[in-house]
Amino acid sequence: MSSLAPLELVCPAGTLPALKAAVDHGADCVYLGFRDETNARNFNGLNFDDAALAEGLRYAHARGRKVFLALNTFPQADNWQRWTGAVDRAAKAGVDALILADLGLLDYARRNHPRLRLHLSVQGSATSYEAINFYRERFAIQRAVLPRVLSLAQVAEVIAHTDVEIEVFGFGGLCVMVEGRCSLSAFTTGTSPNCNGACSPAKSVRWEQTAQGMETRLNGVLIDRYADSERAGYPTLCKGRFTVDEATYYAIEEPTSLNTLELLPQMVEIGIRAIKIEGRQRSPIYVAQVTKVWRAAIDACRRDPAHFSPQPNWMAELNKVSEGQSHTLGAYYRPWK
Amino acid sequence: MKLPTQLPNFTLPEFFARFGQRLPQLPPTLALITALNLALGRLLPREPLEPLLGKRLAIRVSDAGLTLRFAYGERGFRPSFGSVAADLTITARTRDFLALLAREEDADTLFFNRRLQMQGETELGLLVKNTLDAIELPHVTLNSLAPAQALQHLRRILSGARNSGA
C-alpha cells in the first residue's frame, strides 16, 4: 500500500479546544468555520473568530497538520459581500484550503486568490466525475467531498476518471443527503442549512417531558416523542416520526450514524484520498474520542490491510457517541445502484 | 484524595433524591453561583453570554434531589427565588454533570443516551454548552477536582488575578 498516497484523516472543530483535541489525537487535517452564516454549522457560541483561527492555525501548523475552512453555504444577492469577505479573511489568515459550494464564490476565490487551494464542499452536491472535472477545469479545485449517496463502486468509478482528490465521509450524523438542496428545515422554521447555515436552529427547538414521553417540537410542530428507554436523535424534520396511513414511524429516515470503519481497506484500495469525520457541533471530547479511534484504525490498515478488521473496542467507542439507535454503512455498501 | 482517572457510571442511592429535595436549596445554589461569579470575566467570557442577561436558569441534579435556581444579570449570577418557571432547565445525574465538568463526556452523547435533558429555551442551552466548550481550560482531571487541589488552583487563579490588577 506504500505506493498509494496516504489517506488523510479530516476532523471537525467547532472550537479551539476541539481543534487542539483533533490535532493531539492524530488528525491530519482539521476543518472549521467562521462565526456566522457563511458555514453550515452556524450555531450560537460555536466556531472561530479571527483570533481563534490564528491560534488554531499556529497550533496545527506547528505540528505539521492542515486547517481547512468551510465556506459551504450559499450567499444571496443582498449579502454577497459577507461571503467574499470571509474568503478574503481566510486567505489572509493562511488556511490550507477553502471548502466551497457556491459557483460564484469558487469563481471569486479563484480570481482573487489564485494560489489558495480549493475543495468542493459536499454541499456542492457533485456526484459524477463529469461535474467534478468541470469544477476542476473552471476553478482548479484540488479536492471534492462526495455526497453520501454513492455506493463504493460508484465512488471508485468517479476516482478512476478524475485527477481531483476524492474525500468521503467516514463517520458521524446522517441526514436525507439532498445536500445543498434540502428545504425541510426552511419549510418548518424559515431557516435553512444552505443559506443560513443552520438546520433546525436552536431557537425553533423545544423539548418537553410529558406523560407520554419526551416530545420534540420544531417551531411548534411535534416531530417526535421518545419513550424513556429510546435513544434520542437531533431534532430535524427528516428524522421525525410521523403518522402515515395510520402507522406512526420514521417516514423519511431513521436516526442513525454513518460508520464506515469496516470498509477502510476497500476505501484505501480504490484511492480515496481523505476520510472526513462529521461533528463540528460536538464537544472537544467527542472529537478526541472519534479521532483517536480512526487514527488507530487507519494506521492498522496501513500496516496490514489484508488482515484489517475493526476492533470491538473501536466500534463500542464509536457507537457510544453515535446519534440514534444504530450505525450504518450508508450508501457505500448496497447491492442496488 | 486520589480519584480514579475516569468516572465510574454511578447513580446516587434513592435516599439522596428523596431527602435532598427536602433540604434547603439555597446553600448549594450559593456555592455554584459563587464559583460562576469568580470565573466570570476570567475563565468564563462575558461577551458570548450576553443573550443570557435577565434569564432564569435551573440546574436539576436528579439523583441528588437538588434544583439550583439562579439568574444572570449585569452584575453576574444571583440566586433566583419565587415560583416563576426557569427559561432553561438542564437535568442530569450527579455523575454526568461531573463528567461534563471534567470534559469526559460530550453533551450530545449524553442527550442521545437520554442522560441529559434540556427544557425551555434550547438556544440558551446550546449557547451555554458551546461557550463552555470554547474555554481553554488547563486540563481538568478528576483528581484536580478533589477539594485540596481545587482550593490550591483557586488560590493560584486569585493570586494571578490580583497580580495582574484584575
A157-174 confidence digits (pLDDT tens): 999 999 999 999 999 988
Residue that finishes a domain, picked among A203, A233, A249: A249
DSSP 8-class letter at A119: E
Residues A157 and A220 in one domain: no
How far is B110 from A216, CA to CA, in rounded Å? 16
Q: Residue B17's Cα: distance from chain center in Å?
A: 18
10 Å CB burial of residue B138 (0-12, 13-18, 19+) is: exposed
Q: Name the minimum distance, in Å, from the CA of A70 to any CA of chain B.
A: 18
**Is the Cβ–Cβ distance between A328 and A256 less than 8 Å?**
yes
Helix B122-134 with A16-24: angle, nearest 10 deg = 50
**Residue B125 at interface with chain A, using a CB cutoff of 8 Å:** yes
Residue A190, sorted as left (phi over 0), alpha (psi -120 to 50) or beta, turns out to be left
Residues A230 and A276 in one domain: no
How far is A204 from A1, CA to CA, in rounded Å? 49
Answer yes or no: do A322 and B127 touch at CB < 8 A: no
Q: Residue A94's Cα: distance from chain center in Å?
A: 22
Cell of A182: 434540502
Measuring CA to CA, which residue among B60, B51, B72 is closest to residue B28?
B60
Statement: residue A59 has pLDDT above 90: yes
**Is the Cβ–Cβ distance between A188 and A252 less than 8 Å?**
no
Residues A159 and A306 in one domain: yes
Give a yes or no: residue A296 inside a domain: yes
Cell of A275: 476520510
**Residue B144 at interface with chain A, using a CB cutoff of 8 Å:** no
Residues A292 and A223 in one domain: no
Q: Name the minimum distance, in Å, from the CA of B139 to any CA of chain A.
A: 10
Give a yes or no: residue A337 inside a domain: no
Statement: residue A139 has pLDDT above 80: yes
**Is the Cβ–Cβ distance between A97 and A66 less than 8 Å?**
yes
Instruction: Report the pLDDT value the prediction gives residue B145, as an integer from 0 to 100.
Output: 64
Answer yes or no: do B107 and A214 touch at CB < 8 A: no
Residues A139 and A204 in one domain: no
Give the pLDDT band of residue B166 (cuts 50, 70, 90). Answer: very low
Residues A221 and A97 in one domain: no
Give a yes or no: residue A179 inside a domain: no
Measuring CA to CA, which residue among A39, A40, A32 is closest to residue A16?
A32
Instruction: Report the pLDDT value the prediction gives residue A328, as an integer from 0 to 100.
Output: 86
Residues of A in contact with B115 (CB under 8 A): none
Give a yes or no: residue A1 inside a domain: no
10 Å CB burial of residue A246 (0-12, 13-18, 19+) is: exposed
Q: How many domains does chain A have?
A: 2
Terminal Cα-to-Cα distance of chain A (whole angstroms): 28
Residues 260-319, chain A, touching B (beta carbon < 8 A)? 281-286, 289
**Residue A186 at interface with chain B, using a CB cutoff of 8 Å:** no
Give the pLDDT band of residue A280 (cuts 50, 70, 90). Answer: very high
Give the pLDDT band of residue B165 (cuts 50, 70, 90). Answer: very low
Helix extents (H) in chain A: 16-24, 50-62, 80-93, 103-112, 129-139, 152-160, 184-189, 264-269, 284-303, 312-320
- The continuous run of DSSP H or E covering B115 comes out as none
- Among A182-186, A232-236, B138-142, whose mean pLDDT is lowest? B138-142
**Residue A213 at interface with chain B, using a CB cutoff of 8 Å:** no
Residues A58 and A191 in one domain: no
How far is A12 from A291, CA to CA, in rounded Å? 9
CATH, residue A70: 3.20.20.60
Statement: residue B48 has pLDDT above 50: yes
Give a yes or no: residue A3 inside a domain: no
Question: What SS3 class is residue A19?
Answer: helix
Give span(s): CATH 3.30.1050.10, chain B.
Answer: 14-135
Say which of B109, B113, B131 has its CB closest to residue A45.
Answer: B131
Residues of B in contact with A18 (CB under 8 A): 133
Statement: residue A85 has pLDDT above 50: yes
**Is the Cβ–Cβ distance between A30 and A12 less than 8 Å?**
yes
**Is the Cβ–Cβ distance between A207 and A224 less than 8 Å?**
no
How far is A186 from A182, CA to CA, in rounded Å? 8
Give the pLDDT band of residue A1 (cuts 50, 70, 90). Answer: very low
Give the pLDDT band of residue B1 (cuts 50, 70, 90). Answer: very low
Residues A170 and A264 in one domain: yes
**Is the Cβ–Cβ distance between A124 and A104 less than 8 Å?**
no
Give the pLDDT band of residue B74 (cuts 50, 70, 90). Answer: very high
Residues A145 and A38 in one domain: yes
The CA-based dihedral angle spanning residues B2, B10, A314, A286, taken in that order and rounded to the nearest 10 degrees: -80
Residue A248 pairs in a beta bridge with A243
**Averaged pLDDT for residues A120-126:** 96
How far is A12 from A280, CA to CA, in rounded Å? 5
Provide the CATH topology of domain B14-135: Nonspecific Lipid-transfer Protein; Chain A (3.30.1050)
Average pLDDT, chain B: 85
Say which of A43, A203, A233 has its CB closest to residue B112.
Answer: A233
Instruction: Report the pLDDT value the prediction gives residue B161, as an integer from 0 to 100.
Output: 52
Statement: residue A316 has pLDDT above 70: yes
Instruction: Report the pLDDT value the prediction gives residue B131, as an integer from 0 to 100.
Output: 92
Residues A170 and A213 in one domain: no
Q: Name the minimum distance, in Å, from the CA of A232 to any CA of chain B.
A: 4
Amino acid identity for residue A168 in this structure = V
> Model's pTM, two decimal places?
0.91
State phi, psi for A12 to the nearest 5 degrees: -85, 150
**Averaged pLDDT for residues B85-90:** 95
How far is A3 from A323, CA to CA, in rounded Å? 37
How far is A52 from A121, CA to CA, in rounded Å? 23
How far is B160 from B166, CA to CA, in rounded Å? 9
**Nearest-CA residue of chain A relative to B47?**
A45
Give the pLDDT band of residue B4 (cuts 50, 70, 90). Answer: low
How far is A279 from A240, CA to CA, in rounded Å? 20
Say what percent of chain A tops pLDDT 90.
Answer: 86
Give the pLDDT band of residue B16 (cuts 50, 70, 90). Answer: confident
Residues A189 and A280 in one domain: no
Residue that finishes a domain, picked among A228, A249, A270: A249
**Averaged pLDDT for residues B11-31:** 86
**Is the Cβ–Cβ distance between A121 and A101 less than 8 Å?**
yes
Cell of B31: 456555592
Statement: residue B140 has pLDDT above 80: no
Give a yes or no: residue A59 inside a domain: yes
Q: Which domain holds residue A244?
A: 184-249
Residues A126 and A209 in one domain: no
